[in-house]
Amino acid sequence: GSGMGTLLISKIREEYPDRIMCTYSVCPSPKVSDTVVEPYNATLSVHQLVENADEVMCLDNEALYDICFRTLKLTTPTYGDLNHLVCAAMSGITTCLRFPGQLNSDLRKIAVNLIPFPRLHFFMIGFAPLTSRGSQQYRALTVPELTQQQFDAKNMMCAADPRHGRYLTAACMFRGRMSTKEVDEQMLNVQNKNSSYFVEWIP
């Protein structure tokens, strides 16, 4: 709330202007609010994020709590549970830095493919499969199931329903053993089935 985060961003930008700056920012949400001054903090920090960050991943506590309650069926989620979800998302997005990939192989390429206009660099994260902390049981999901979950409003880490807006751009990152052909087919399927949700002027 003191502006320390945005000050750091601007100082880092001054010091390393050629580096990609990617932030994971907790935005205020309508239902879950910890502090009275949350809206002021957000309003004042957005300017710095627009000017000095290259990629801003928007997260909010309301969406994370909803995931814990509805999807993970946790009765009293702690900040540890919320942080687990954020960690999983961060790990997924930065996978390209740790493992070899064919597309979006670094943060710069992600930025080039996802940002239509320089100031429009705020992203929503859809994550699948969602698992709770320390869960031992899991079920192997198919590529169609993972794709469907990624675009589901219940899996978004931001309290906004994508069906009430339009996708300017989208990127899906998969980890694990799966064929590129199957992934490509699913991406084409998503674009064809939901063509009304993607803007026409960005191919």
Would 9 be classed as within a structural domain? no
Parent domain of 122: 16-197
Tens-digit pLDDT profile for residues 87-144 = 999 999 988 888 877 676 788 888 998 999 999 999 999 998 888 887 767 778 889 9
Find tokens 């064929």 and name the residue: 179
Would 202 be classed as within a structural domain? no
Number of domains composing the chain: 1
Cα–Cα distance for residue pair 88/27, rounded to 1 Å: 18
Would 1 be classed as within a structural domain? no
Q: How far is CA 203 from CA 50, 122, 168, 170, in A?
A: 25, 19, 9, 11
Cα–Cα distance for residue pair 170/37, rounded to 1 Å: 32
Which CATH number fits the domain that encloses residue 101? 3.40.50.1440
pTM: 0.86
Would 203 be classed as within a structural domain? no
* Eight-class DSSP state of 198: B
Tens-digit pLDDT profile for residues 149-179 = 999 989 999 988 888 989 999 988 888 888 8
Would 11 be classed as within a structural domain? no
Would 157 be classed as within a structural domain? yes
Neighbours of 94 (CB within 10 A): 15
